[in-house]
Structure formats: structure tokens, C-alpha cells
Structure 1
């Protein structure tokens, strides 16, 4: 069983200590809006980190942190039509690896369907989590916005689907909405369990961290004979 966490954090360096204190038990951590600059080093204790940083512009950026004992490799690091993404493949005890991706879509951008096709074409056993700034009626929101309608179009294609969960993931004052999503191909989607939202990190962020479990059967790295 692998436990995963997705967070929109606005500034990962500002909230690093709280992130580690609350979520270091999770095997994979997806972070949107890290605000990391490409020249800045960043580490999380016990994790290998993979980043897609913006160049020359503030905001955005995505990161995946994978526990060091899990075998994985980066397979995708690209921004497609302002949709920022990073993806790794997790080796498993079976013949088929799993692709895990973190995606951030700014509120001024469109959801780029080609990005999701690219990720699926790399590995059709995939989980995509992120802040898509997409709202869907009766799935944590009162109405569908423009990106929500694009998300509906994506889901209608049938190669990927979302968790059937109507909990909001963003809360500010009296406004609640679902902006953060867990998408997956079958049969992985049916194996995802224990989906939960958590209190926000930082007082003004508004995004609730999402956590879930998936029985991927990930391979562990062999330890050095000296250990």
C-alpha cells in the first residue's frame, strides 16, 4: 500500500516545517504552487524531489516528492498550454509500472486535453492529481466553470475518470468549492481508498490537502550492504 498526499501550498518554503510535521508519513507528496525558483535548492527529509519550475515568472510550479526507498524515475516534465506538470513512474512487483503525476492549471488558463493524453500515452496505469481550478456541478461545487466543462469533456472520453467524492477542497470565508482532483485510469481508480481532506496549511491558503491510499505493490530500493 502506498499513501499519497496532494497539496496546493502557495509557497513550499514558507510552510515546509508544517508540511513535514503533518504529512511526512505519506509515501508520495504532490505540491502545486510551490513558488520555487529554478536556481533554489529544495529538499524534503527522506524524499527524492522532482520539480517543474516556471522561468522568469512568479507563482505556479509543481513538485512531486517520493520516499527514497521507492524505485521511480522522472518521465515527464513539461508545461503544455500553461498547464504545468511533472510525472514519475513507480516500479512495482508486477510487470506493469504506475505513472504518478502532479498537474497545476492556473485560473486564467484552459485545461489542455493534450496534456492528459500525453501522460496516459506514457503509461496507461496512471494517477493524476492536482489543482485544476475546475468545478463540476454536484461534485463539490454548485456549478461547472469553463475548466469544469473541459474536464467533463475529458472524462467523457472514457480513458480516465475521477474519484466519486463531492467534498469541497477549497474553503474561504463562506465560499466552498472543489478545485483539486484525483484522476486515474482503470483499474487503478477502483483501488484508491481512504480519500480524505484535511485542514489547510497556512492561515490564508484556503486549499485543503487531499490524501488517499493505493495498493501499487511498489518495489523498494535495495539497501547498501554497509547498512
Structure 2
């Protein structure tokens, strides 16, 4: 079975260009093909049973260019069920790189906007001599990103160095998760005295002379309490404007990043199996350490909402 080929070739210069190959039995159409601010983009829309259609895009950003964020917004506006993959030449320390470069900072800001997320995988995707880095990214909107699985980084094809192929699975026959009814609230900006006053006002509306003679009466009272809290919350606690996806790396993670890159350089320079073993060992340890950093960040957030703080004099 053959493929339908969609390509955006670089004109007048060698190298570069992007291409998408879609199996012929899949209904698809090209919806975007352009180069802007040296960002080379190709995008197709494929039909699926679950999501009606999915936008898949490939993008290349040269090392000397910046990410044209307007392109990513344009792709999302065309179809908010989108997967964007490619070499962005963006490095993020939070993903195990030695530093966050300018394009990495752009990527961070994009993720903070909340409409697109990156697959949580810190495997390096490029290697050359004693240099290795994660430059290639898989970005996707919700709920698509929750269905992406089996992300793998493979050996370079036909060469000893360069970009490593990335593969992943995304089933299109499963039912998407429903949109969560939960609202993200900015508790740091909450006006707790206003919350208490509004809650008291709402609770005063209840008829205290009433009796609870049946389960229906109990359910009615429970709904009243819930609605009172919701009204007070809407009055005093603003919703979160953006996702907080950044956190502080622990000293352990910073040290493991350094040790991993040092072991990699020694391995590539001398070809010593001991250095190779150390490199992969540090890589596993770093993945676990970054996961712990994210967990600790979540625990700190939850502890800021602990019962002691909620019942402090400053609140009530």
C-alpha cells in the first residue's frame, strides 16, 4: 500500500524542507503549506471516526531562527484537534538539556498559554560527536495528547550521528475523554474575607425552621450548601488565567544533567563501555529525578491549600 506525499521543499538552498506521508487508504487533504520567518511548515487534515478530523503538522525551525508562534496559533485555529511534530531546535533544562535556549523559552511560553502541550519525554533526539540534545518535539492539544503512547526514540538511520527518528502510537477508534467540568482557581489571589461574607449571606437564606423528614430533604440541604459555596467561590476566587508548567529543578536533577552529559562525552570520545553504562544509568536516574521534581512541585501547591491555612485568622 502506497502513501500520499505532502511536502514543503526549501527553494534555492540545500537541506531543510518538511514532508508528511499518509497511507493512501486514509482520507486526508493538505490545509497549510508555507514558509514564514524561516519556519517551514506542512499540515494535513485526516478523517477519523472518533474526532471527525485531526490536524497533523510537521515544522522545522532552523538554529538561527525563532519559532513563529503565530504559525502554531494558526494551526490550532484551523483545527483544535492537532498534533504538531518537528525539529524546533528548542532546548529545555526541564527536559534534561544543559540549558534552556531562546527557542526553549518560546516553547515554555507557548505551553503556558494552555492550548497546546508537549509529550513528557526527555529522551535526547540529536547526537553528534560529544554533543547530544533534545531538539525534536511532539506537541498536541487535549484530548489528543492523553491518547499518545509508546513514544520511542530510535537509532539514527544510515549515519552514526544526527537526528533520531521519533515514533508514537495514537489510537483513533477510542472514545475521547469528556471535557472536565472542574475549574482551575487562583487561590493565591483569593479574597478570603469576601468569601466568608458572601458565604454567610448565602447560608442565611436557608429556612432554619425546616425539618429533615426524608432523604429528599437531606439532598435538598446538601445542594443548598454546595450552591452556597459555589456562589461564594465565584465571588471571591478568580479562575487561573494560564497553566503553571514551570518549576524549580532540584540540585539532584541539576547534578544528574551535568553527570549525564559528561558521561556521554567520555563515552563518545573513548568508546569505553563503562562510560556508556554510566550514561544510561544517569539517564534513568535523571528521568526519575525530574518526575520527583514535578511531584514535589505539586505537593507544595497542595500544601499551600492545607486546612491550617484555610482556617487561619487571615482567612476568617
1:177 aligned onto 2:127: no
Q: 1:135, CA displacement in angstroms?
A: 0.3
Counterpart position of 2:110: 154
1:106 aligned onto 2:62: yes
SS in 2 for 1:155: helix
TM-score, normalised via structure 2 length? 0.53
For residues 85 and 108 of structure 2, the distance between their equivalents in structure 1, rounded to whole angstroms, comes to 16
Counterpart position of 1:116: 72
> Cα deviations across residues 92-119 of structure 1 (Å, max 9, x unaligned)?
1136310000000011110111010010
- Given that residues 51 and 172 in structure 2 are in contact (C-alpha distance below 8 angstroms), is that contact kept between their aligned partners in structure 1? no
* Unaligned ranges ≥5, structure 1: 1-44, 219-227
Alignment counterpart, residue 32 of structure 2, candidates 69, 76, 93? 76
For residues 98 and 87 of structure 1, the distance between their equivalents in structure 2, rounded to whole angstroms, comes to 10
For residues 94 and 76 of structure 2, the distance between their equivalents in structure 1, rounded to whole angstroms, comes to 26
Q: 1:202, CA displacement in angstroms?
A: 2.5
Q: 1:181, CA displacement in angstroms?
A: 0.3
> Cα deviations across residues 138-190 of structure 1 (Å, max 9, x unaligned)?
31412111111111111111100100111110112222110000000000001
For residues 142 and 205 of structure 1, the distance between their equivalents in structure 2, rounded to whole angstroms, comes to 19
Counterpart position of 1:137: 93
For residues 66 and 43 of structure 2, the distance between their equivalents in structure 1, rounded to whole angstroms, comes to 20
SS in 2 for 1:98: strand
For residues 106 and 95 of structure 1, the distance between their equivalents in structure 2, rounded to whole angstroms, comes to 32
Counterpart position of 1:190: 146
Larger radius of gyration: 2
Counterpart position of 1:216: 172
* Unaligned ranges ≥5, structure 2: 175-316
For residues 158 and 138 of structure 1, the distance between their equivalents in structure 2, rounded to whole angstroms, comes to 17
> 1 or 2, which has the higher helix percentage?
2
SS in 1 for 2:29: strand
RMSD over equivalenced CA pairs, Å: 1.5
Alignment counterpart, residue 200 of structure 1, candidates 156, 164, 172? 156
> Cα deviations across residues 116-148 of structure 1 (Å, max 9, x unaligned)?
001001100000000000000131412111111
- Given that residues 98 and 216 in structure 1 are in contact (C-alpha distance below 8 angstroms), is that contact kept between their aligned partners in structure 2? no
1:86 aligned onto 2:37: no
Q: How many residues align?
A: 174
Q: Return structure 1 stretches of 4+ with deviation > 3 angstroms.
A: none
TM-score, normalised via structure 1 length? 0.73
For residues 55 and 173 of structure 1, the distance between their equivalents in structure 2, rounded to whole angstroms, comes to 30
